[in-house]
Amino acid sequence: MRFFSDNAAAACPEVMQSLADANSLDTAYDGDRWSKRLDAAFSELFGTEVAALWVATGTAANSLALAALCPPFGSIVCHRDAHIQNDECGAPEFYTHGAKLLLGEGEGAKLDTDTVSALLATVRSDVHQTQPAALSITNATEYGLVYSPQEVSALGALCRERKLGFHMDGARFANAVVSLDCSPADLTWKAGVDALSFGFAKNGGMSAEALIFFRPELRDATLYRRKRAGHLLSKGRFLAAQILAMLEGDVWLRNARAANAAAATLAEAAGDRLVLPVEANEIFLKVSPDEAAALRAQGFDFYDWGPGEARLVTSWDSDPAAVATLAAAIARL
Amino acid sequence: MRFFSDNAAAACPEVMQSLADANSLDTAYDGDRWSKRLDAAFSELFGTEVAALWVATGTAANSLALAALCPPFGSIVCHRDAHIQNDECGAPEFYTHGAKLLLGEGEGAKLDTDTVSALLATVRSDVHQTQPAALSITNATEYGLVYSPQEVSALGALCRERKLGFHMDGARFANAVVSLDCSPADLTWKAGVDALSFGFAKNGGMSAEALIFFRPELRDATLYRRKRAGHLLSKGRFLAAQILAMLEGDVWLRNARAANAAAATLAEAAGDRLVLPVEANEIFLKVSPDEAAALRAQGFDFYDWGPGEARLVTSWDSDPAAVATLAAAIARL
Amino acid sequence: MRFFSDNAAAACPEVMQSLADANSLDTAYDGDRWSKRLDAAFSELFGTEVAALWVATGTAANSLALAALCPPFGSIVCHRDAHIQNDECGAPEFYTHGAKLLLGEGEGAKLDTDTVSALLATVRSDVHQTQPAALSITNATEYGLVYSPQEVSALGALCRERKLGFHMDGARFANAVVSLDCSPADLTWKAGVDALSFGFAKNGGMSAEALIFFRPELRDATLYRRKRAGHLLSKGRFLAAQILAMLEGDVWLRNARAANAAAATLAEAAGDRLVLPVEANEIFLKVSPDEAAALRAQGFDFYDWGPGEARLVTSWDSDPAAVATLAAAIARL
Amino acid sequence: MRFFSDNAAAACPEVMQSLADANSLDTAYDGDRWSKRLDAAFSELFGTEVAALWVATGTAANSLALAALCPPFGSIVCHRDAHIQNDECGAPEFYTHGAKLLLGEGEGAKLDTDTVSALLATVRSDVHQTQPAALSITNATEYGLVYSPQEVSALGALCRERKLGFHMDGARFANAVVSLDCSPADLTWKAGVDALSFGFAKNGGMSAEALIFFRPELRDATLYRRKRAGHLLSKGRFLAAQILAMLEGDVWLRNARAANAAAATLAEAAGDRLVLPVEANEIFLKVSPDEAAALRAQGFDFYDWGPGEARLVTSWDSDPAAVATLAAAIARL
């Protein structure tokens, strides 16, 4: 009963079926009929014309997006706890050829306009400093909070005012959309987002993520960057097929709902132990080492998250029985 | 009846089965039990201790290997027609941070020691020129020729003498091994190769390639580079599983044999039309535009390859009936 | 009467004379007889074998040093107020090909072992994070404080223990040496420093800085990096000559003494207005906007440094009369 | 009597005087009054609005220009013997973050439109290849030939048609202008050149080159790139002053005339021994090893240039007596 990471979950049946369906001879790279459907599928989902590219990882999606928005001599505002800062081994620096990340604070890995404005104010507008060129937020955040459309909109307005590109790391975009019960459009381009890393792997996919540009003109250079980074898979149809399978019939929402519901169950059981509200599929708990050991003794696996805290992540396939058992165990602590 | 590219072929049944088998909860990234078996599996195959990493594309494998062997201020000797020069949109330059490729000639995209020595002799050993740090050859080559163990050995000896790292792009390594009927060891580390991009995608895989270091100490830095390039897939077990499935029972050899055999059938039919000997699974034919049109009219698809020439590529799943029909059609021209 | 920056000062007479002396035909780049004397001159000064390279700017010296000590996938510990972080427009990221800076706090831009250890402790030793590879400190600091040989030594010991390269940005190294009245050796290699950016431009030079490697084997790759960065000047003798002229007869110490003495005069006059002790040639003063305006009205130019503070920098050629007048003006405030 | 390189020549008196004149306190970097005059001075010289930046080396000027014209995933057409290919240790690759150079042939290091068109035709317009983004020519070439305004214009028209940026490496621009007796405007922007590396160091300067953008909007990003590369010297006035001193009174033309005249004298003496016409200040001679030894025995130094050839370079300060003696010696061979 592992609650380590949604990264570790299985791929959902629709995704597995899509691989079988796509397993025929077709054009290599992204010339196949699945890949060619991505633009239309996402344009329909978002209600606006978008450019949609598959990649194999969220790190690649994030870094390609940032490279499209920020020159080598620019900087990217993000939260100090952002995945792009802490968990990608400098991929944004690699892809942007050395841009800097400008780190802000904020509870639960969330940034607000005051924080961003204050950060921007620390930068002198001279050639001795890299100039901010983009803002990147994660929704849902690395701590399981969500930005509402209004919050994103406020940041988006700031980006427009300060001429910053706006990127959303949506590794758990589905969980955010489900949590907010909002439209994907309201949470993104209508709120000023230029590029979205739309995550599928954590949500029941096998090996595919989508990079969505709401300014389709950002696509062209990115196609070269993707190839050059070794991310133009020769049998790209297997990535496109996964993504299409999850869009069809709203599997992506169904999966996220399951993960969020499991998290909600655990959150309810946790009560005062919660370090942060549970708004998506991550739960941060105050637990003593003894309590953590007790939970593990019952067969539950999870990460310690600093002293006296633990992180649990639910996923699309979290077993309801295991979740219920864990909820009870937490309540019993 | 498409003979465009082995890139476009389907994934073989064992690979598809391996995905189903790996589709359970496990550790993320490369901490899972499949990924952990790679070193041992390849060490056994090669009869020496190797470090083996999965990546999603041959471009990534090649570029990571080259970055391990060549500093940003070095250069890499390769053939003018090498995939790393012509078909990776500068990925080696991206991953090495700007190393130069030093281009040699040679029939069928093959280099020999004379050519390499002559190229090396053009470089002044001063700081105004990037200094050669690596040699990269492709086996089987982009034109379907193979380097024998003896030929590789000769180049390997030159590399040792000149202190060059030695990389083999083995996108079609299986086809070369089968063609030469030699041991993988003889064709690689015993001949001085330091790093091998061991291709699976063109040979019946779905999305996995192996990067093999015969100097295992090259692994450490590469792990960071792989992550930083966005090539550490979160569900890496699906890549490892594909590779293991193709090693098991020598599926990789079986698949390559099928492709090579199909090519041999076409080669025999082609006779004097062959531009180059057919030693793997690529056939280069002299055909007039009218002849090419005639073949296409019969339902065969392939690339034109310069004026009066065509390229046909067979794959593990080339339909024997289609191959026979095509052979007859070629013979009839 | 400008106290903006020692960057803006004139070149000292010995430097100007050296240019005339070097103005004859000689070998280009660094093959001339001045450039060839650098290693010996600095080896003598430091009492150990060093490799010494001229470059035209401190930014280049710092970045080349860091590139020699840190791989693209590494990180560099430095102070949040370090020049390499704040005033080089990402040059370290450019030269290292995307390494990250890991920022610590500390009064007056000084780091101590506790701070550095704490920073290192925030890094997980996995491939998802860049691993610390170097420590960079500035001596004298950007706020005019100095690290004593003991303090440097403590950091050097930590570097050895944690396998970090150790770089000292010595844009104002002369001011530090004079302030501490210590030997250059004690402040550098004997304390564990691997590479020193030895500044001359702020101290009466025209356009030359020296990059000193106490591990001479770091030179080789750096020669290529210097050329590749466009920093191998064709008439390098003019840089070498400046440096040699300042080493000869200890002009570099004489100049720094003058700058430090001027600063001390101002510091004494400032009394409680000092934000930080004055240990080199920078003075940070608490002054109200009205007071700052009053000083400016008397003809003194300087930078505001945040609300209610001002920075004054003295230099080798600060006019004693102007300094005395300014000291009196400050005392009168 | 050294005829190795104009790189090794002395700085001319006007340049030395300019350093003395600029040796007073002023604003650091490029905020001083000399630096601020560059735009106007070059705009006047070229008869159009230009942006003019000083840098310390031709390599930096070339690389910054190319980075302004070519993205990391682009390629730059140049001659196989171009300085940017052969003598800058990959600086263009460093500054552009990995663009490729696409190498053409042509006598005397000259490209023509046929060659460039043929090179462009080798590139597939797909994402698997870097797409040509710029053309770079050297005028006068590395072999001492010049491109006429008409020849540059023809290449410029091709650049416009193919949407290529157009860079001229003018390390010996003065020698070309003098040789052609044309206006600087006719040889550059009127012929379609976007960026010019205007050389001063080889022509009597000490350490300054000018980077001229005929599309001034290319300046902004370049200012950041220059800083980031460590090429924003703190006392930039000393570079600007050199350049201004050489523009004033047409010192740059006077110096180039002297160098070209010396070369012409040698060329006349050389007669049939000339490998190439002498159109600027470089002479390539057919000389046997014995003959070369004989010249050297008379005190003349120069580079061998391949078997049976020698290169001699004259400079602004080539001693007329030495030139005459050498001419006689050559004639006597």
Percent of chain C with pLDDT over 70: 100
Which residues in chain A have their CB less than 8 angstroms from residue B10's CB? 23-25
User: Residues spanned by CATH 3.40.640.10 within chain C?
Assistant: 11-251
CA dist., res. A317 & res. A206, Å (int): 13
> What integer is the mean pLDDT of D192-213?
97
- In this structure, the strands spanning B309-313 and B303-304 are antiparallel
Q: Which among B10, B19, B26 is the nearest to A8, CB-wise? A: B26
pLDDT number for residue A2? 85
Level-2 CATH architecture, domain A12-249? 3-Layer(aba) Sandwich (3.40)
State CA C118 to chain mean position distance.
Answer: 25
Q: What is the pLDDT of residues A71-94, one digit of tens each?
A: 999 999 999 999 999 999 999 999
Provide the 10 A C-beta neighbour count for residue D303: 13
Strands (DSSP E) found in B139-218? 165-170, 195-198, 209-213
State which residue of chain C sits closest to A130, comparing Cα positions. Answer: C89
Say yes or no for a CB contact (<8 Å) between B16 and A11.
no
Tell the CATH topology of B11-251: Aspartate Aminotransferase; domain 2 (3.40.640)
Residues from chain A that touch D97, judged by Cβ atoms under 8 A, are 72, 97
- Cis peptide bond N-terminal to C210, omega within 30: no
* Under 8 Å between Cβ of D237 and D26: yes
Q: What is the CATH number of domain A252-332?
A: 3.90.1150.10
Nearest CA in chain D to A233: D128
Q: Which residues of chain A have pLDDT under 70?
A: none
pLDDT mean over D144-155: 98
Residue D139 · residue D191 · CB < 8 Å: no
For chain B, how many residues are written? 333
C306 vs B20, residue with greater confidence? B20
Contact (CB<8Å) C8/D26: yes
Amino acid D140: pLDDT: 98
Report the C-alpha gap between A36 and A321 in whole angstroms.
40
Instruction: Reduce the DSSP state of residue A231 to 3 states and report it.
Output: coil
Q: Would the pLDDT of C57 be above 90?
A: yes
DSSP H helical ranges for chain B:
13-22, 38-46, 58-69, 83-86, 91-96, 113-121, 149-162, 173-180, 219-228, 237-247, 251-270, 289-297, 320-332
CB B147 within 8 A of CB B176: yes
Q: Distance between CA A173 and CA A193 in Å, rounded?
A: 13
- Contact residues, chain D, for A73 at CB < 8 Å: 221, 224-225, 228
| C-beta separation of A84 from A62 below 8 A | yes
**Residue B114 Cα, gap to closest chain D Cα (Å):** 20
Q: State the 10-residue block means of pLDDT for chain B, 333 residues long.
A: 86 97 89 96 98 98 98 98 98 98 98 98 96 98 98 98 98 98 98 98 97 98 98 97 98 98 97 97 96 95 92 95 96 93
Which letter does DSSP use for residue A133 in this model? E
Of A128, A130, A223, the CB nearest to D127: A223
pLDDT computed for residue D26 by the predictor:
83
Chains contacting D (3 or more CB pairs within 8 Å): A, B, C
Residue C243 has pLDDT above 90, yes or no: yes
- Residue A25: the pLDDT is 77
Q: Classify domain D12-251 at the CATH topology level.
A: Aspartate Aminotransferase; domain 2 (3.40.640)
Mapped to the 3 state alphabet, what secondary structure does chain C carry? CECCCHHHCCCCHHHHHHHHHCCCCCCCECCCCCHHHHHHHHHHHHCCCCEEEEECCHHHHHHHHHHHHCCCCEEEEEECCCHHHHCCCCHHHHHHCCCEEEEECCHHHCCCHHHHHHHHHCCCCCCCCCEEEEEEEECCCCCCCCCCHHHHHHHHHHHHHHCCEEEEEECCHHHHHHHHCCCHHHHCHHHCCCEEEECCHHHCCCCCEEEEECCHHHHHHHHHHHHHCCCCCCECHHHHHHHHHHHHHHHHHHHHHHHHHHHHHHHHHHHHHECCCCCCCEEEEECCHHHHHHHHHCCCECEECCCCEEEEECCCCCCHHHHHHHHHHHHHC
Contacts with D73 from chain A: Cβ below 8 Å:
221, 224-225, 228
Per-residue pLDDT of B121-168, as tens digits, reads 999 999 999 999 999 999 999 999 999 999 999 999 999 999 999 999
Instruction: Tell if the CB–CB gap between B230 and A24 is shorter than 8 Å.
Output: no
What's chain B's average pLDDT? 97
Mutation choice for A interface testing from C75, C80, C93 by most A CBs within 10 A? C93
For A284, the enclosing helix (H) or strand (E) is strand A282-286
Pure H helices in B181-216: none
- The radius of gyration computed from the CA coordinates of chain C, to the nearest angstrom, equals 20
Confidence of residue C4 (pLDDT cuts 50, 70, 90): confident
Flag if B128 and D86 touch (Cβ within 8 Å): yes
List of chains touching A (3+ CB pairs within 8 A) = B, C, D
Nearest-angstrom CA–CA distance, A147 and A111: 9
pLDDT of residue D175: 98
CA pair distance A152, C19, nearest whole angstrom: 59
> pTM surpassing 0.95?
yes
Q: What's the average model confidence in pLDDT over D137-158?
A: 98
Record: contact B8-A235, CB cut-off 8 A? yes
Q: Check the CA dihedral C239-C240-C244-C247 and report its sign.
A: positive
Residue C7: predicted pLDDT = 86
Q: Which of A23, A55, A201 sits opposite B235 (nearest CB)?
A: A201
| Closest chain C residue to B94, measured at CA | C97
What token pair was written down for A38?
């991505």
Residue A152 tokens read as 């994103």
Contact A58, A196 (CB under 8 A): no
Task: Taking residues C149-160, report their average pLDDT.
Answer: 98
Environment class of B126 (CB within 10 Å of its CB; exposed 0-12, middle 13-18, buried 19+):
middle
Measured distance between the N- and C-terminal CA atoms of chain C, rounded to whole angstroms: 18
Cβ C136 vs Cβ C62: under 8 Å: yes
Under 8 Å between Cβ of C166 and C159: yes
Helices B13-22, A13-21: inter-axial angle, 10-degree rounding: 170
* Confidence (pLDDT) at B27: 87
pLDDT the model gives residue D6: 86
Query: Best of D63, D96, D127, D218 to disrupt the A interface by mutation (most A CBs within 10 Å)?
Result: D127
> In the CATH hierarchy, which top-level class contains the domain B255-332?
alpha beta
* Chain C residues with at least one Cβ partner in B under 8 Å: 71-73, 97-98, 127-128, 130-131, 221, 223-228, 232
CATH 3.90.1150.10, chain B: domain bounds: 255-332
Average pLDDT value for chain D: 97
Residue ranges matching CATH 3.40.640.10 in chain D = 12-251
Select from D93, D98, D129 the Cβ nearest to the Cβ of B86: D129
What is the 3-state secondary structure of chain D? CECCCHHHCCCCHHHHHHHHHCCCCCCCECCCCCHHHHHHHHHHHHCCCCEEEEECCHHHHHHHHHHHHCCCCEEEEEECCCHHHHCCCCHHHHHHCCCEEEEECCHHHCCCHHHHHHHHHCCCCCCCCCEEEEEEEECCCCCCCCCCHHHHHHHHHHHHHHCCEEEEEECCHHHHHHHHCCCHHHHCHHHCCCEEEECCHHHCCCCCEEEEECCHHHHHHHHHHHHHCCCCCCECHHHHHHHHHHHHHHHHHHHHHHHHHHHHHHHHHHHHHECCCCCCCEEEEECCHHHHHHHHHCCCECEECCCCEEEEECCCCCCHHHHHHHHHHHHHC
Closest CA to A329 of A316, A310, A315: A310
CB A155 within 8 A of CB A111: yes
pLDDT of residue A210: 98
Distance CA A307, CA D70 (A): 50
Q: Which residue of A35, A127, A130, A219 is the best one to mutate when testing the D interface, meaning the one whose CB has the most D CBs within 10 A?
A: A127
Structure tokens at D110: 């000259």
ipTM over 0.95: yes
Lowest mean pLDDT among B306-315, C86-95, D149-158: B306-315
pLDDT band at C132 (very low <50, low <70, confident <90, very high): very high
Portions of chain A given CATH number 3.40.640.10: 12-249
D101-D102-D107-D108 Cα dihedral, nearest 10 degrees: -10
Instruction: Report the 10 Å Cβ neighbour count for A98.
Output: 28
